[in-house]
C-alpha cells in the first residue's frame, strides 16, 4: 500500500527541464493551481499515458532545474572534473531516468489529493514549499525545495523531500556506490539501460 502511495506521489513531481523560473510571489499560486490541474489530467481516463505525461510535463516545465539536480546528485567535485560535454550527457540521462520512472508509475495514480500548506523562506536563497498528500484519511508530507537563481527574484526547484527522504540524496547515495567501484563512463552506461524491475520504486 505504501509503495503504491509513494508511486502516486512521484507521479506528481517529475517535469521537463526549462531555463525559466518563478518570481517568489508566484510560487504558491503557481504550484497550487498547477498541482490541481495535474491531478485532473491524471484522472482523465480518455487520455493515453503518453498524452497525460506530455500535458503534465508542459505544466511544470519552468520550475525544475535538472542541471542543478544532476550536479547535486553526483557532487560538486565529480561534476567539476567532467568536461562540459560529459556534464550535458549526464544531465540528459539523469532527466531521462526520472521521466522514465514517472512513466512507469503513471497508471498507479488513483485518488490522491495534494494541498499546499505553507511557504517558508529558509534563508535568502532557499524556500521550502510544504504540501500534504491526502490518502484514505492519512496525511503525508512532501516538501518542494526552491533556490534563488542568478536572475534576481526568480526561483526553481532543486530537490523534493518525500516523507522526509530527499530525492537528490537518494540518487547521490546510489551514484556514489557505483562511482566508488567503477569509472564515470560506466555510470553513464548504467543510466542508458532500463531499470531492473526490482528497483522501479519511488523516489527513483
- Is 53 contained in some domain? yes
pLDDT value at residue 143: 92
Which CATH number goes with the domain that contains 81? 3.10.450.710
Tell me if 202 is assigned to some domain. no
In a domain, 200, yes or no: no
| Per-residue pLDDT, 15 | 42
CB 69 within 8 A of CB 168: yes
State residue 105's pLDDT score.
Answer: 65
Give the count of beta carbons closer than 10 Å to the beta carbon of residue 53. 20
Total number of residues shown for the chain? 204
Residue 204 lies in a domain: no
| pLDDT tens per residue across span 118-156 | 999 998 899 999 998 887 888 888 899 999 998 767 899
Nearest to 75 by CA among 1, 184, 156, 151: 184
Give the per-residue pLDDT at 198. Answer: 44
Maximum separation of any 2 CA atoms in the chain, in Å: 49
**107 vs 166: which has the higher pLDDT:** 166
Helix, coil or strand: residue 188: helix
66 within a domain of the structure (yes/no): yes
160 within domain boundaries: yes
Residue 125 has a pLDDT of: 92
For 170, phi then psi, to 5°, come to -60, -50
Do 50 and 100 form a contact (C-beta atoms < 8 A)?
no
pLDDT band for position 197 (cuts 50, 70, 90): low
Write the CA distances from 52 to 12, 42, 115, 117, 193, integer angstroms.
Answer: 11, 6, 21, 26, 24
Query: Is 87 inside a domain boundary?
Result: yes
Query: How far is Cα 195 from Cα 69, in angstroms, rounded to an integer?
Result: 19
pLDDT digits (tens, 9 = 90+) for 1-58: 445 555 555 555 544 334 457 888 889 998 888 888 888 888 888 888 778 877 877 7
Q: How many structural domains is the chain composed of? A: 1
pLDDT of residue 18: 41
Residue-range definition of the domain harbouring residue 34: 2-194
Partnered with residue 132 across adjacent β-strands are 115, 141
Q: Does residue 199 fall inside a structural domain? A: no
Q: Band the pLDDT of 90: cuts 50, 70, 90.
A: very high
Please state the pTM of the whole predicted model: 0.81
C-alpha cell at 41: 489530467
pLDDT digits (tens, 9 = 90+) for 57-66: 777 767 889 8
CA–CA dist 158, 148 (Å, integer): 10
Amino acid at each position: 500500500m505504501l509503495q503504491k502511495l509513494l508511486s502516486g506521489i512521484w507521479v506528481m513531481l517529475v517535469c521537463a527541464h526549462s531555463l525559466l523560473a518563478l518570481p517568489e510571489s508566484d510560487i504558491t499560486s503557481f504550484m497550487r493551481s498547477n498541482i490541481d490541474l495535474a491531478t485532473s489530467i491524471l484522472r482523465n481516463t480518455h487520455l493515453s499515458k503518453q498524452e497525460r505525461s506530455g500535458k503534465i510535463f508542459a505544466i511544470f516545465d519552468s520550475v525544475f532545474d535538472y542541471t542543478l539536480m544532476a550536479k547535486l546528485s553526483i557532487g560538486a567535485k565529480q561534476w567539476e572534473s567532467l568536461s562540459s560535454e560529459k556534464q550535458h550527457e549526464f544531465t540528459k540521462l539523469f532527466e531521462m531516468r526520472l521521466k522514465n520512472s514517472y512513466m512507469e508509475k503513471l497508471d498507479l495514480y488513483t485518488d490522491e489529493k495534494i494541498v499546499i500548506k505553507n511557504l517558508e523562506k529558509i534563508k535568502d536563497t532557499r524556500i521550502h514549499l510544504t504540501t500534504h498528500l491526502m490518502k484514505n484519511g492519512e496525511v503525508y508530507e512532501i516538501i518542494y525545495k526552491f533556490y534563488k537563481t542568478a536572475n534576481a527574484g526568480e526561483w526553481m526547484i532543486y530537490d523534493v523531500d518525500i516523507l522526509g527522504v530527499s530525492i537528490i540524496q537518494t540518487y547521490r547515495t546510489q551514484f556514489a556506490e557505483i562511482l566508488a567501484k567503477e569509472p564515470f563512463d560506466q555510470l553513464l552506461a548504467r543510466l542508458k539501460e532500463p531499470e531492473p524491475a526490482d528497483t522501479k520504486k519511488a523516489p527513483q
